[in-house]
Amino acid sequence: MLKVERAQIGVWSELPPGSRWANEGISRIVGFLIEGGAESGEFTFHVLVPRGMAETVRMDLRTLHARENIDWVVDEPTRDFEQQWHARHSHQFPGRAAMPALLAAYANDHIKVDGWINTFPHFTGSRLLKQRKVAMLPDAIAYDFPIGWDNTHHWGPEGEFVTWRKIAHDTLADAQAVIAHSKHVANRHGVKLLGLDGDLIRVVPHAPPDLAPILPFIENRQKTPETRKEAAGILRDYAAVQGIDYLRQFPFEETPFAALATQDRVTKNVGRAAEAIRRMVRRDRQNIKLVTTAPVHSGASWTLFPGVVEGQQTQRDILSLPDLPREVHAALFHCASLVIHPTFYEGIVGTLTFYEAVSIGTPCIMGVGPHVRELLETAPELKPLTFDPYDVEAMIALIRNVMSDPNKAWRLQVPAYENRRKRGWDQVARAYAQAALGTDRQEKQYA
């Protein structure tokens, strides 16, 4: 059998040591791309990160269905290279400019790839790379949701977002192609906000993730008493290892609860989902809990969530379990009666949690924003399971309706999920890689 030579694709990240990687949005996309490349056998992804960050990334990527040093490699500058570079060049790149420049120098000298994917538009070091590169434009969400950020720090004359706009434009315009995950981001943020040439942008929507392989005891995506019990065991074992006493023997398989998987950020609307559950429990006397992966930022004024949990003392009705491993995350979704995704805005088509939940037998209700509207263009049958994310009572009504027959709601959503699965992560990885290699079609890519 003829052996196909793999293309070598670099993945550029400037996240410094101590940064979050696992379970973060773009990091998860990198994982999906690596798994897609592993499925096709066409590419090896070389993830380059600043010194001190490599092992954090390796630990996460080792949980993928992909082989280290075959499907993916993680690298970082060596100590000797850093010392020699600083001795020669630190005067040219003072302060914050040093790290990206050092990383680019190491990439140009030591990382042999055919093209690069820059994971964020504010990672300026990519402009120093010698090989062809594409840059990802996840979104410019702060420009649509400016409230909640510190005015001076973020929106002053030298504020973070004001500066970001220029940096993002320059970094993206320097790339040979830009990848957006949706039409609404490409048009609203790429063309209108940042002034990019529309022909530069490739719109490459995500393939739907599939959690079923993580829980091999599930058959045909069906939820049964036996599979819920098995998943509940995973959750209880995790609680025991983490020392979460309340959940060591918690009957996840018997307790009606909603799951919500996201960080607590300005656009994520976690507080209103928590308030919906609070009203259902305290006012309506309904037996339901909320288990969320959002951490509780005590005392924060930009989010409603801490006020509902701490201010209303709902700690036993609204449970926070951040940073779940992949298997535990999947088990949580499988045990849940439904998944809530209440966000105002996502930069993709639909929501990852919708795909994940449906893949293992659980329905998902979604707040309507441009991401959901774009999904409804090709899956209008999902509209009955969407709601106005600002309307807590509408959310409560939909939760109650779905809780009355979760399987009915799930069956409504399965066809849309399966239809989108016809385009897998192997095809998405190929689209990214071809853009990086310059072998894709040059017209605007609405894949």
19 backbone dihedrals φ, ψ, rounded to 5°: -75, 155
What is the model's pTM?
A: 0.87
Q: What is the pLDDT of residue 295?
A: 93
Q: What is the pLDDT of residue 376?
A: 97
Task: Give the pLDDT of residue 145.
Answer: 86
What is residue 3's predicted lDDT score, i.e. its pLDDT? 55
Position 328 scores a pLDDT of: 97
Percentages helix, strand, coil for the chain (3-state, rounded to 5) are 45, 15, 40
**pLDDT for 91:** 84
Question: What are the backbone angles phi and psi of residue 115, rounded to the nearest 5°?
Answer: 180, 165
Q: Which of 52, 176, 112 is nearest to 438 (CA)?
A: 176
State residue 201 phi and psi, 5-degree precision: -95, 130
Q: Which residues have a Cβ under 8 Å from the Cβ of 237 and sit 6 or more positions away?
A: none
- What pLDDT does 25 receive? 80
Residue 43, Cβ neighbours under 10 Å: how many?
26
- Find out whether 257 and 277 touch, Cβ atoms under 8 Å: no
- What pLDDT is attached to residue 445? 43
* Mean pLDDT for back-to-back runs of 10 residues, the chain (447 residues): 77 94 86 95 97 96 94 97 92 88 96 97 96 95 80 77 92 97 97 96 94 95 97 98 96 97 92 97 97 93 90 93 93 98 95 96 98 97 98 98 97 96 95 93 44
Give the model's pLDDT for residue 254: 96
* DSSP annotation string for 111-128: ---SEEEES-TT-GGGGG
pLDDT digits (tens, 9 = 90+) for 426-440: 999 999 999 999 998
